[in-house]
Structure 1
């Protein structure tokens, strides 16, 4: 095939960076093509060279990079082929292409948009650079594009600042900025990684529709094979800077050839997994928790329910009149009458979109946030503890029994402490043992999470994301807790590393008899980990049931919408955009009269459907009617 029939053709691309002691080769002899009007997905783990390739196409590589090979861009308007690597860095020719004929959407919309300029200002700036349009023409074209990417009131959005928009809306603004000049090629670098599953589905549908409408080619960079199955025409798999496999999406998914691609597919949790089936991580972590704690006694006499939560409420006031103005009377209910039990030894999954109140609930359990009302009781067989009223020695003891694994493995570990200091700090705070016994415990913790003891004197920056998350898990285990609260512990990780961490958590739960509250917006991950699942929306639990019931036979419209939004790495199960279309998933008005609140004489309350399946509905509705809804 000649380069003239391809929109973009990359030939024998090599990219290296100068470092102390020589050069580091991050892309080695890469060859790939992007056809006009088609979506090519570039798939691989973090550090495989995906983003560096996209930067070389856009001509925005740092000065320390050395590039060899060819990047041929054939503009469909005039048919001219340009070798991007031959253009002067930041010269007029590459600037004329960048933003006009080629555009890029970045992974994190908040850091990509200027906080000092309005959304409309930033989008119309692209038109000012690349076109001769007048100010009024630029405004009308920008408003038209904002409408095209899904803003209901483009005129108002034009004058808003990025911080006034949600994550999904910021990403839409970013897409509008990239598409305002109607480019022939759009590079989308992990465009949905930071978004909820329902918002992700909306952005994917938006990109797909715009791509068809504008007849635009797209290079989609992602590590999510579910996204690839729903979006791509061609797939290119990259590992350590080398292309392992490439071809049409049908051939890649139905008949993968390379062991790396097969391994990547086996590492993804999916809803069809059999009971007891394990994820196959690309690199398994040996777990040895035998030396960690002594044999736990009084397990037989401990009660079935470890934590009992009843009618938790928490609301926040909104300040509208500036920094020193009076606080507005408006209050937002972050947690609204939440009740659930966590049984000893189980994993309770808590799912929902961002802003649904999941993390606020976990912070209340940790005593990091004080609720307005409700009760939390903890009972591990040594007597009941009122979590919200505990003080002094009682609170100190409680802190050893409930620990947390945080979402971001980078910011949750101090960059100024070695691994040994990080793991021994909880033991020092609670006065456990002397220096020698603490070091022994730290070594046992390293063994338990599958990290070499030689790493004890290293700092967090010298570890990968998955290794840092394992250190975070080890720190949470240091005091021998009963309950581990895992707040999105794998959302920042690649699928292959995610499989390692999930398997590690499962092994530790089995060997140490741990109880988990597992918070996530990834339903496939929760399906793999949890015994029971509670679904949260707008501060309330709308449905709670054993895992196999809630994911196979959901009743609440919000749960159904969440499940419909999960992209499957399966060509025969495309995303159900019609189910998602029914307004926003969290819009109560779209749930129908049986599930949405309204008249005060018929409030919402949990309806019991049997087998531990509760759903939030109108009090006087027949449960048989709910199933048929």
Structure 2
């Protein structure tokens, strides 16, 4: 196709950075295009060069970067082509393009928005830079755009600060800022990665609708193949700075050619997997737990229930009138009377959106948060332990039996400790063995998670995200626990690395007889890992059932909306935005009278086969199923 018809055309792009000892080449010979009014998706893992390419298009690469090739932007208004790489770095030409004709949405809206300025102030600043409009005109246009991106009260939002908005609302504000000058090209860099699945679906629908309304082209940067299938017209697959495959979305999904693309698709967990089927990670992790002490005989006559949770309640107070004013607090129930059991050797999946109370539950179980009421009993056959009241030696003993794998492997590992220090620290705290014994155990842990023992003296910053998460898992296994609480352990990882970690956790569970509480907002991941699934909403468990029941025959409207919001990497199963709107998770009125009411009017209804759903007391099971 001739370059005149391409809105954006990148030809033979090369990007390198000056480093100690020479230059590091991160992008090599990249060619891609974005057609007017169309979406081109740039797909690849972290470190593949996606974001660097987008920065080069916007002209915001750091000074250490050296760029070769061409980036041609053809403005549809006047038909004039501009090679962005030939423009002065901060000259008037690139500044006129950036923000006006080309705009970018960043991955993390909280760090991209100024905490010191109101939302309206930041959006209208773009108009002040690029237009001659008056202050009143800027406010009018800003409020109009805030309404367009889905804010119910734009005039109120205009005067709010970013911290007053939820993650999804902040991303909408970022979109409003990017689109306020009606650009011809929008670069969306992982616009939904940090969002819940239902909020992600709303943002995707919003971007799609605005793209059609404004006749805007989009360069969508993502590693989520489900998002690509629902949004893209053309797809470009990149690996280590080089294009592996490019084509229309139909050709890429129905007839993938390159081995890397096939590997990416095989690494994505999906709902059609057969029992026992494994994810195909691009790089498998060899697991050898033979030398780990956790592999021991179970206690004779041990009870079936390892952990029993009953009526947990946790309330937080939100101060209304500032630091020095009257202490007027609004009480919010983060956890509202939840109960569940975890059976020995099983994986219980706990799913729900941000703010539903999942992490608060995990912190209560680990004694990091004190609940207002309820009980947690741990029983491995050697005597019951009241988790919430354990002290002294009993608490230390409990710590060896329950451990946690955290969401963010970067912040959960000390940057000042070597891997050897990190893995031996639990052994030192509990006074287990001498230094030679601890070193032996640390080497065994490294072997169990598939990391080379030569890495023991390295620091966390020298490892990839997946390797850091494996170190976090090894630390959790150091004391030979029976129960692992995994709080979003793969949400920050690429799909191929995610497959590695999930397979590793499955292998360790099988070989060491571990029991998991697996917390996630990704139902496809939970489907792969869990035996039973509990769904949380607003501090309560609204549905709990064996995995195959809850994913194939959900009853609660919230569970249905969660399932409907998952973008499948399948062109034959597009997102159903109409169903999502009908079952809007924030609109309880759309749920039906059987599922709404206060704590006094709702109770778990038993539908048989271990399937419980939160509904009105004495609700008829057949009625609930047919809703």
Q: TM-score range by the shorter chain?
A: over 0.9
**Aligned-pair CA distance for 1:318:** 1.0
**Aligned-pair CA distance for 1:326:** 3.2
- Does 2:127 match 1:127? yes
Q: Alignment partner of 2:68: what SS?
A: strand
Say if 1:615 and 1:30 are closer, same or farther in 2 by CA, change over 3 A.
same
Equivalent-residue separation in structure 2 for 1:154 and 1:63 (angstroms) = 39
Correspondence 1:42-191 to 2 at 5 A: 42-191=42-191
Equivalent-residue separation in structure 1 for 2:287 and 2:10 (angstroms) = 43
| Stretches (4+) displaced over 6 A | none
1:574 maps to what in 2?
Answer: 574
Equivalent-residue separation in structure 2 for 1:13 and 1:614 (angstroms) = 56
Equivalent-residue separation in structure 1 for 2:82 and 2:279 (angstroms) = 45
Equivalent-residue separation in structure 2 for 1:328 and 1:473 (angstroms) = 42
Contact 2:107 2:190 in 1 (8 A): yes
Say if 1:599 and 1:460 are closer, same or farther in 2 by CA, change over 3 A.
closer
Say if 1:617 and 1:59 are closer, same or farther in 2 by CA, change over 3 A.
same
**Aligned-pair CA distance for 1:323:** 1.4
Q: Alignment partner of 2:496: what SS?
A: helix
Count of equivalent residues: 627
1:506 maps to what in 2?
Answer: 506
Say if 1:231 and 1:416 are closer, same or farther in 2 by CA, change over 3 A.
same
Say if 1:21 and 1:217 are closer, same or farther in 2 by CA, change over 3 A.
same
Contact 1:119 1:159 in 2 (8 A): yes
Correspondence 1:234-253 to 2 at 5 A: 234-253=234-253
1:461 maps to what in 2?
Answer: 461
Contact 1:538 1:586 in 2 (8 A): no
Say if 1:66 and 1:276 are closer, same or farther in 2 by CA, change over 3 A.
same
Correspondence 1:353-368 to 2 at 5 A: 353-368=353-368
**Aligned-pair CA distance for 1:327:** 2.7
Superposed CA offset, 1:453-512 (max 9, x none): 000000000000000000000000000001000000000000000000000000000000
Superposed CA offset, 1:248-277 (max 9, x none): 000000000000000000000000000000
Superposed CA offset, 1:124-152 (max 9, x none): 00000000011000000000000000000
Equivalent-residue separation in structure 2 for 1:588 and 1:397 (angstroms) = 44
Contact 2:561 2:583 in 1 (8 A): no
Equivalent-residue separation in structure 2 for 1:315 and 1:586 (angstroms) = 21
Equivalent-residue separation in structure 2 for 1:466 and 1:505 (angstroms) = 13
Equivalent-residue separation in structure 1 for 2:83 and 2:32 (angstroms) = 15
- Does 2:619 match 1:616? no
Superposed CA offset, 1:184-214 (max 9, x none): 0000000000000000000000000000000
2:11 maps to what in 1?
Answer: 11
Superposed CA offset, 1:563-594 (max 9, x none): 00000000000001111113631432221100
Equivalent-residue separation in structure 1 for 2:458 and 2:548 (angstroms) = 43
1:255 maps to what in 2?
Answer: 255
Q: Alignment partner of 2:424: what SS?
A: helix
1:550 maps to what in 2?
Answer: 550
**Aligned-pair CA distance for 1:103:** 0.1
Say which of 598, 602, 607 aligns to 1:604.
602
Superposed CA offset, 1:503-562 (max 9, x none): 000000000000000000000000000000000000000000000000000000000000
1:445 maps to what in 2?
Answer: 445
Superposed CA offset, 1:289-329 (max 9, x none): 11011652344421100000000001001111111333324
Equivalent-residue separation in structure 2 for 1:229 and 1:237 (angstroms) = 13
TM-score if structure 1 supplies the norm length? 0.99
Correspondence 1:287-326 to 2 at 5 A: 287-293=287-293, 295-326=295-326
Q: Alignment partner of 2:563: what SS?
A: helix
**Aligned-pair CA distance for 1:332:** 0.2
Correspondence 1:301-450 to 2 at 5 A: 301-450=301-450
Say if 1:583 and 1:162 are closer, same or farther in 2 by CA, change over 3 A.
farther
Correspondence 1:471-510 to 2 at 5 A: 471-510=471-510
> 5+ unaligned residues in a row in structure 1: which ranges?
none
- Does 2:264 match 1:264? yes
2:625 maps to what in 1?
Answer: 627
Superposed CA offset, 1:72-103 (max 9, x none): 00000000000000000010000000000000
Equivalent-residue separation in structure 1 for 2:584 and 2:272 (angstroms) = 27
1:564 maps to what in 2?
Answer: 564
Equivalent-residue separation in structure 1 for 2:407 and 2:133 (angstroms) = 45
